[in-house]
Chains A and B, each alone.
Chain A
């Protein structure tokens, strides 16, 4: 951070406001269009604020029979919460072992996990789909949850944090007769709640906004998640009913934006944690 002279501060603000306007325009636009009457001509950009705000668009979106919004919402919540719990329970012990335990093949195995992050999703998607199908999981919560309950990214992120805990802690625990599992549960896990929160936020938002996998493994309207459900709105409303489409988009965006605003410090922390400080 550098001190700034008043003249260059004004210049900076002008640039920042212009960039912020560019970043926010699509969102503002979305909200404005969603409040226009859903019948008749497309809203004219020259008249941004409609004469009568049509909040009825939102209740109409919530009550469409072809696209049961609340059902999509419930599916997404069930899946996202399960994935977060799974990631914490599965990635945290593995990350602890890679960071704090010594065993044969540890480094080799860790590189295997890290290397798996570099495989493009297109390579694994067809076989993963066939695997899930052979388990009989297509169009069930299992297909949406199980493939996402562990990730190399999560293990990597948590390992970086466990490495920063002082060594003396587990040495003392070891001398007191603590088993590695007891050390993990009673000492490392409670101390690493910021890192666990970081992973939870990443996993929650990634699951909430995932589109491709839920599109492949669900086939009935009742099993769709919000992202896939939203793509169905387009057909349900006719591709030209923009106010209703935008109202649906706002409803899908709102929860994830709120989660992000509540937890954004964990995002920045996570990026610092993964060792990217160049």
Chain B
């Protein structure tokens, strides 16, 4: 064989080997890719297609109406109310939940007997059935026979006692927020524990030699080195806070006076009670944009902050 012919055959055999490797890899990936295509990628596109139509389940015709659904949303005060409620829920429940989880994580990160037992106890709410815990919390929030009112009464807070927490416009959302702090404690705590375990103990030893107290250690070592963990929890918690559904469905049905009508529940109503699939799809896309915006803003702010804290 001549030299160029040899090189050509080598090149073609390399190409066929590569093709073979590609095909082989695809046999591994194909089932999951097919699943992704049918149940995620296609729905993402189809939801947008739906949002451009007046698509009522009960009617045969689904006329194309362009951006009409989105334009209607601009003047839809009920939808704005739902967005506001979701923002209220996220802005209050996420930082509160993170603070509680950080305190607990620092506590159970100490070398003490039984800390593992405590870690397990704190985690239990997170793996519980959301419907079951919603029922219990409804009962806790009942006026008079509820646990919360009884505790407040026993503490001498008679005026706070006999409050119908879930039926008071100003108190229903705070009641849901308290429950969400309870629900989210375990997962956030475990994430903080992972972050704490990554901090080299030599840093604390140096600080002790320099005479740094507990607060100084927290302020100058723990807190800055936990920033990446905090940021991860902030982003993922905010994303899920904007999608909360089950507790609202079970406990308040969006009431009283739509004060707990969050976007996740609002979209459910639009789609499965009103059967406006097109409008609900438009709302879900707006929700997606809001989540995206919140995430991007958080990235921007934290990146600027973290620049000052880098270890290098």
Q: Do A and B bind each other?
A: yes
List the interface of chain A (C-beta within 8 A of B).
Answer: 1-4, 9, 12-13, 15-16, 19-20, 22-27, 29-30, 33, 42-46, 89-91, 93-94, 96-98, 101-104, 106, 109, 112-113, 116, 118-128, 130-131, 147, 149-150, 152, 155, 179-181, 184, 205, 208-209, 211-212, 216, 226-228, 230-231, 234, 242, 245-246, 249-250, 252-253, 256-257, 260-261, 264, 267-268, 271-272, 276-278
A242, closest chain B residue (CB): B139
B8 at the interface (CB under 8 A from A): no
Q: In the complex the two chains form, is A249's CB within 8 Å of B132's CB?
A: yes
9 chain-A/chain-B pairs, Cβ below 8 angstroms = A26-B136, A26-B137, A46-B150, A97-B28, A104-B18, A119-B288, A128-B39, A184-B28, A230-B135
Q: In the complex the two chains form, is B28's CB within 8 Å of A94's CB?
A: yes
Q: In the complex the two chains form, is A234's CB within 8 Å of B194's CB?
A: no
A98, closest chain B residue (CB): B29
A120-B288, A124-B40, A245-B135 known; A150+B31 contact, CB < 8 A = yes
Q: In the complex the two chains form, is B135's CB within 8 Å of A12's CB?
A: no
Extra contacts besides A150-B32, A260-B124 (14): CB < 8 Å = A1-B110, A12-B112, A45-B151, A46-B150, A91-B32, A94-B32, A120-B288, A122-B284, A124-B40, A124-B44, A127-B44, A181-B24, A253-B128, A256-B129
B92 at the interface (CB under 8 A from A): no
Q: In the complex the two chains form, is A209's CB within 8 Å of B147's CB?
A: no
Residue from B108, B127, B225 within 8 A of A209 (CB atoms): B127
Residues of B within 8 A of A93 (CB): 27-29, 31-32
Q: How far is the CB of A190 from chain B (nearest CB, A)?
A: 17
B64-72, B73-81, B114-122, B169-177 - interface stretch: B114-122
Q: What sequence of 0s and 1s flags, for each residue 190-222 of chain B, a beta carbon within 8 Å of any chain A beta carbon?
A: 110011011001001000000000000000000
Residue from B22, B111, B187 within 8 A of A4 (CB atoms): B111
Among A27, A126, A228, A242, residue most surrounded by chain B Cβ atoms (within 10 Å): A126
A12 to B108, CA, bound (A): 9
Residue from A97, A113, A123, A127 within 8 A of B36 (CB atoms): A113
List the interface of chain B (C-beta within 8 A of A).
Answer: 18, 21-22, 24-29, 31-33, 35-36, 38-44, 46-47, 50, 103-104, 107-112, 115, 118, 120-125, 127-133, 135-137, 139-140, 142, 145-147, 150-151, 182, 185, 187, 190-191, 194-195, 197-198, 201, 204, 225-226, 228-229, 232, 239, 242-243, 245-246, 249-250, 263-264, 267-268, 271-272, 277, 280-281, 283-285, 287-288, 291, 295
Residues of A within 8 A of B104 (CB): 16, 19
Residue from B33, B109, B125, B131 within 8 A of A1 (CB atoms): B109
A30-B136, A245-B135, A257-B124 known; A120+B111 contact, CB < 8 A = no
Q: In the complex the two chains form, is B44's CB within 8 Å of A23's CB?
A: no
- List 4 tightest A-B contacts by C-beta distance, closest first: A127-B43, A45-B150, A97-B28, A249-B132
Residue from B25, B187, B268 within 8 A of A106 (CB atoms): B25
Q: In the complex the two chains form, is B25's CB within 8 Å of A271's CB?
A: no
Q: How far is the CB of B279 from chain A (nearest CB, A)?
A: 10
Residues of A within 8 A of B147 (CB): 25, 29, 45
A46 to B153, CA, bound (A): 11
Q: How far is the CB of B282 from chain A (nearest CB, A)?
A: 11
Q: How far is the CB of B55 from chain A (nearest CB, A)?
A: 9
